[in-house]
């Protein structure tokens, strides 16, 4: 739909459209400052995220998974770049600028096709894509939290699965944080995007540095290691640049939360890990020759009423220990009065 809108928008007659020379004419040097260019760079970078979904989903491809993933990544880059450049060009052609009430895509759809079925269909599809995109973190974070909890860097409660066999504690924690951010920022996506961009590109930086480090350690046993190390290092440098620029240029707009949250999270992870190490030290047995002494067993059997099942349960309890307590809990006055035994 985006590519179709770009194609029509490029060739449809528009009386106020600039000439071809206007697209190629360089801007006046004094009209654009370095800070504006850096802000545009950091803002545009957030529109290029999502490609990591291909690398994360390589095991889902058919064989050969690596080749199919490369093809998918190349197609994704081609489509994403075409849409990004195309919408920028037709936005300039129709004089569309961002505002707080209508998105650029809706303004472009209205200018190119009018407020007909295409306009509303594009809005519906955009909403559906955003809903799916918001759901991805609820699938990824609980899984990541369970792995970190298994390695003792997060509380073990994140390892527990619920009735639907999902890591429900991770979902609940992420939902609570999401609600808090929406309330703090008033649901303004333009203020929330810096948080998203910094978090995503910081994870990109860490991932590519880790890739370069891994191949540097194995450089004598794997072929093509040098090329991968260079790609990882250059990519990490570019994404780290986005992190720094986004943090500096959008610090007041909300990026300060990331600057504050990341050190706190790292401190929290180390405190959790230190706690589990201390607990393991306390529970560790130093004397392997210690003798275990038997202890008496007291068995408590919950009893609702006297019947054959209760008799069999009490008999089994007496086989375990001579000390058995039959316990009945009455929830109402009527149940208490009916308990004659």
Boundary-marking domain end, from 68, 89, 115: 115
Is there a domain that residue 145 lies in?
no
Boundary-marking domain end, from 88, 115, 142: 115
- Tell whether the model's pLDDT for residue 341 goes beyond 60: no
Q: What are phi and psi of 300, to 5 degrees?
A: -110, 125
Range of the domain at 311: 298-338
Is there a domain that residue 7 lies in?
yes
Buried b (16+ CB within 10 A) or exposed e, 56-75: eeeeebeeeeeeebeebbee
Is there a domain that residue 190 lies in?
no
Is there a domain that residue 281 lies in?
no
- Tell whether the model's pLDDT for residue 267 goes beyond 80: yes
How far is the C-alpha of 16 from the C-alpha of 1, rounded, in Å? 24
- Tell whether the model's pLDDT for residue 201 goes beyond 90: no
How far is the C-alpha of 269 from the C-alpha of 159, rounded, in Å? 15
How far is the C-alpha of 169 from the C-alpha of 141, rounded, in Å? 11
Binned at pLDDT 50, 70 and 90, residue 306 comes out as: confident
Is there a domain that residue 100 lies in?
yes
Query: In the prediction, which pLDDT does 288 show?
Result: 73
Query: In the prediction, which pLDDT does 27 show?
Result: 60
Query: pTM to 2 decimals?
Result: 0.63
Asked if 213 and 244 count as a contact pair (C-beta separation under 8 A), the reply is no
Higher pLDDT, 222 or 144: 144
Is there a domain that residue 179 lies in?
no
Express as a percent the part of the chain with pLDDT over 90.
15
Is there a domain that residue 23 lies in?
yes
Higher pLDDT, 55 or 311: 311
Is there a domain that residue 225 lies in?
no
- Tell whether the model's pLDDT for residue 44 goes beyond 90: no
User: Number of structural domains, the chain?
Assistant: 2
pLDDT (tens digit per residue) in 309-335: 889 999 999 998 889 999 988 877 877
CA 245 to chain CA centroid, Å, is: 22
pLDDT (tens digit per residue) in 150-171: 999 999 999 988 877 888 999 9
pLDDT (tens digit per residue) in 104-116: 888 888 888 888 8
Q: Which of the listed ranges 92-96, 98-102, 141-145, 275-279 does the model predict with the highest average pLDDT?
A: 275-279
Boundary-marking domain end, from 62, 84, 115: 115
């Amino acid at each position: 739909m985006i590519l179709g809108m770009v194609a029509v928008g490029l060739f449809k007659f528009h009386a106020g459209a600039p000439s071809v020379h206007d697209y190629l004419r360089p801007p006046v040097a004094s009209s654009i400052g370095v800070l504006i260019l850096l802000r545009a760079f950091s803002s545009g970078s957030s529109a290029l995220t999502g490609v990591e979904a291909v690398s994360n989903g390589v095991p889902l491809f058919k064989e050969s998974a690596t080749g199919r993933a490369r093809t998918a990544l190349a197609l994704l880059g081609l489509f994403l770049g075409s849409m990004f450049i195309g919408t920028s060009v037709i936005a300039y052609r129709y004089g569309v600028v961002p505002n707080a009430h209508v998105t650029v895509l809706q303004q472009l759809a209205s200018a190119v096709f009018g407020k007909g079925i295409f306009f509303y269909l594009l809005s519906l599809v955009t909403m559906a894509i955003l809903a799916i995109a918001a759901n991805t973190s609820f699938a990824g974070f609980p899984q990541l939290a369970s792995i970190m909890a298994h390695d003792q860097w997060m509380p073990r409660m994140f390892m527990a699965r619920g009735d639907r066999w999902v890591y429900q504690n991770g979902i609940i924690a992420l939902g609570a944080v999401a609600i808090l951010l929406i309330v703090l920022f008033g649901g303004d996506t333009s203020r929330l995007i810096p948080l998203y961009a910094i978090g995503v590109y910081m994870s990109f930086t860490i991932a590519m540095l880790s890739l370069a480090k891994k191949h540097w350690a194995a450089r004598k046993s794997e072929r093509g290691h040098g090329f991968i190390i260079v790609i990882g290092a250059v990519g990490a440098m570019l994404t780290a640049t986005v992190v720094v620029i986004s943090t500096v240029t959008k610090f007041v707009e909300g990026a300060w939360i990331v600057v504050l949250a990341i050190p706190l999270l790292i401190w929290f992870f180390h405190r959790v890990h230190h706690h589990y190490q201390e607990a393991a030290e306390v529970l560790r047995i130093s004397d392997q020759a210690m003798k275990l002494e038997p202890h008496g067993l007291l068995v408590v059997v919950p009893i609702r009423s006297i019947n054959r099942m209760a008799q069999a349960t009490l008999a089994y309890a007496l086989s375990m220990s001579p000390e058995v307590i039959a316990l009945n809990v009455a929830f109402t006055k009527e149940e208490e009065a009916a308990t004659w035994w």
